[in-house]
């Protein structure tokens, strides 16, 4: 039998006035694994039974339906399983407290630095859901999740959620996924449409250190871009092109080009349409297109083609969040200096003329990142301001 206990819960019980507490045993049926908790889990799993926690090894009076016993006696912990009227003692492992949970990443990432960072993720689809989980694994301690969508069948192949999550708000499902990696993460949930709730969006953006812009359409990205500019916050935008043949990532750093400058400079690439409802709402699929034809226009790529783009967004976020602090990721500051990155998965459509990977030398090929500097654009609807332009002068690229 493999048994797990929570250090945080045991400490709380040890410091409480109670001598005995009946908690919960969650057992993965037929797998010989049990997790013992003093408090009920929000999302229970397995077969649930009782577990008696007591502060004295002599406190063995029988409680009905309780198979598991945990004794804490002056720092000494014993776990017992009631078998045929007797107690069989078993070994256990501890889920560490907050300070120790990420000690393994110490030296690689300054966990202490990231623990105090607050990241907003706008859009929890195939991009946002993966990025949320990756950032929590890296040690980011606080999140604001914004998405009004629910988990649907057509999402599952590219989403981190499971069949059991069908119908749930993505904000709730991703909260559970993140807490499953880091139970000490602080999470704020906003199941709302940012285009219709500008004030709320502004409040959210104003409170965070960095914004991951992972919505699936340009109108919402312009709304985000405006909020980033107004509050001078760093934002990382990512998207996939049709059927995820490739994708790009744009970083907004206050004072540099904004998303609108980027679109004005390089044009709007043909993007993936992943969601008919959203594409109709934004006019990408015109109203006169029948449901059958619209179905053919919804073209999604493989999750494996989305992942490299998400990974770049995560790396860029970590570099921005740990800037100025000594950490293992600091060396990437010398590499990730651009504000625009382009990636191709296949030699299709806009990448048809790219070179075959073997022997391509310096010619552009698939599965390599290409960085570029996008300059601020005169007359940009969001960030252009003649006086500001004059002040910045030569710093404009």
Window contacting Zn ion (CB under 5 A); options: 1-9, 155-163, 248-256, 375-383: 375-383
Site for Zn ion in 3-62 (CB under 5 A): none
Site for Zn ion in 220-239 (CB under 5 A): none
Per-residue contact string for residues 263-292; x = within reach of Zn ion by CB under 5 A: ------------------------------
Does 383 bind Zn ion (CB under 5 A)? Our answer is yes
Cβ proximity to Zn ion: between 19 and 378 the closer is 378
Cβ proximity to Zn ion: between 7 and 218 the closer is 218
- Cβ of residue 265: shortest distance to Zn ion, in angstroms? 9
- Cβ of residue 205: shortest distance to Zn ion, in angstroms? 16
Cβ proximity to Zn ion: between 250 and 351 the closer is 250
Size of the site for Zn ion (CB under 5 A): 6
- Cβ of residue 259: shortest distance to Zn ion, in angstroms? 7
CA atoms within 13 A on the CB side of 72: 21
Does 339 bind Zn ion (CB under 5 A)? Our answer is no
Window contacting Zn ion (CB under 5 A); options: 19-27, 156-164, 253-261, 267-275: 253-261
Of the candidate residues 131, 279, 321, 380, the single one contacting Zn ion (CB under 5 A): 380
Cβ proximity to Zn ion: between 23 and 264 the closer is 264
Of the candidate residues 261, 285, 300, 317, the single one contacting Zn ion (CB under 5 A): 261
Window contacting Zn ion (CB under 5 A); options: 107-115, 326-334, 365-373, 383-391: 383-391
Cβ proximity to Zn ion: between 313 and 382 the closer is 382
- Cβ of residue 304: shortest distance to Zn ion, in angstroms? 33
Cβ proximity to Zn ion: between 260 and 278 the closer is 260
- Cβ of residue 218: shortest distance to Zn ion, in angstroms? 14
User: Under 8 Å CB-to-CB from 148, ≥6 apart: which residues?
Assistant: 169, 191, 192, 193
The 3-class SS string of the chain reads CEEEEEHHHHHHHHHCCCCEEEEEEEEECCCCEEEEECCCCCCCCCEEEEEEEECCCCCCCCCCCEEEEEEEECCEEEEEEEECCEEEEECCEEECCHHHHCHHHCCCCCHHHHHCCEEEEECCCHHHHHHHHHHHHHCCCEEEEECCCECCHHHHHHCCCCHHHCCCEHHHHHHHHHHHHCCCCEEEEECCCCCCCHHHHHHHHHHCCEEEECCCCHHHHHHHHHHHHHHCCEEEEEEEEHHHCEEEEEEECCCCCCHHHHHHHHCCCCECECCHHHHHHCCCCCCCCCHHHHHHHCECCCHHHHHHHHHHHHHHHHHHHCCCCCCCCHHHHHCCCCCEEEEECCCCHHHCCCECCCCCCCCCECCCCEEECCCCCCCCCCCCCHHHHHHHHHHCC
Does 258 bind Zn ion (CB under 5 A)? Our answer is yes
Cβ proximity to Zn ion: between 60 and 384 the closer is 384
Window contacting Zn ion (CB under 5 A); options: 25-33, 35-43, 51-59, 258-266: 258-266
What is the binding site for Zn ion (CB under 5 A)? 258, 260-261, 380, 382-383
């Amino acid at each position: 039998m493999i048994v797990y206990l929570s250090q945080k819960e045991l400490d709380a019980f040890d410091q409480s006035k109670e001598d005995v507490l009946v908690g919960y045993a969650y057992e993965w049926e037929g797998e010989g694994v049990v997790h013992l908790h003093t408090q009920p889990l929000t999302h229970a799993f397995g077969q649930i039974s009782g577990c008696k926690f007591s502060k004295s090894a002599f406190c063995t009076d029988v409680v009905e339906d309780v198979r598991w016993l945990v004794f804490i006696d002056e720092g000494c912990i014993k776990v017992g399983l009631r078998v045929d009227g007797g107690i069989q003692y078993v070994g256990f492992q501890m889920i560490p407290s907050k300070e120790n949970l990420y000690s393994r990443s110490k030296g690689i990432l300054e966990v202490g630095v990231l623990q105090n960072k607050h990241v907003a993720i706008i859009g929890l689809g195939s991009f946002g859901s993966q990025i949320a989980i990756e950032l929590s694994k890296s040690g980011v301690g606080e999140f604001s999740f914004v998405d009004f969508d629910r988990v649907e069948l057509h999402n599952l192949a590219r989403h981190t959620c499971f069949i059991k999550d069908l119908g749930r708000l993505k904000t709730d499902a991703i909260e559970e996924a993140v807490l499953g990696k880091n139970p000490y993460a602080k999470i704020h949930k906003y199941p709302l449409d940012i285009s219709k709730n500008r004030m709320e969006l502004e409040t959210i953006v104003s409170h965070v250190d960095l914004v991951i812009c992972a919505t699936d359409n340009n109108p919402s990205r312009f709304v985000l871009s405006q909020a980033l500019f107004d509050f001078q916050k760093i934002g990382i935008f990512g998207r996939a092109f049709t059927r995820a043949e490739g994708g790009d990532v744009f970083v907004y750093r206050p004072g540099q080009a904004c998303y609108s400058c980027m679109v004005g400079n390089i044009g709007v690439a043909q993007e993936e349409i992943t969601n008919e409802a959203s594409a109709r709402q934004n006019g990408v699929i015109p109203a006169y297109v029948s449901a059958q034809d619209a179905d053919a226009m919804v073209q999604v790529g493989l999750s494996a083609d989305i992942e490299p783009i998400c990974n770049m967004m995560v790396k860029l976020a970590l570099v921005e969040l740990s800037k100025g602090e000594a950490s293992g990721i600091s060396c990437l500051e010398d590499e990730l200096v651009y504000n625009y990155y382009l990636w191709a998965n296949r030699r299709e459509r806009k990448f048809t003329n790219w070179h075959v990977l073997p022997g391509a030398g310096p010619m552009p090929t698939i599965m390599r990142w290409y960085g570029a500097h996008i300059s601020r654009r005169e007359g940009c609807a969001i960030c252009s301001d003649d006086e500001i332009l004059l002040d910045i002068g030569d710093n404009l690229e």
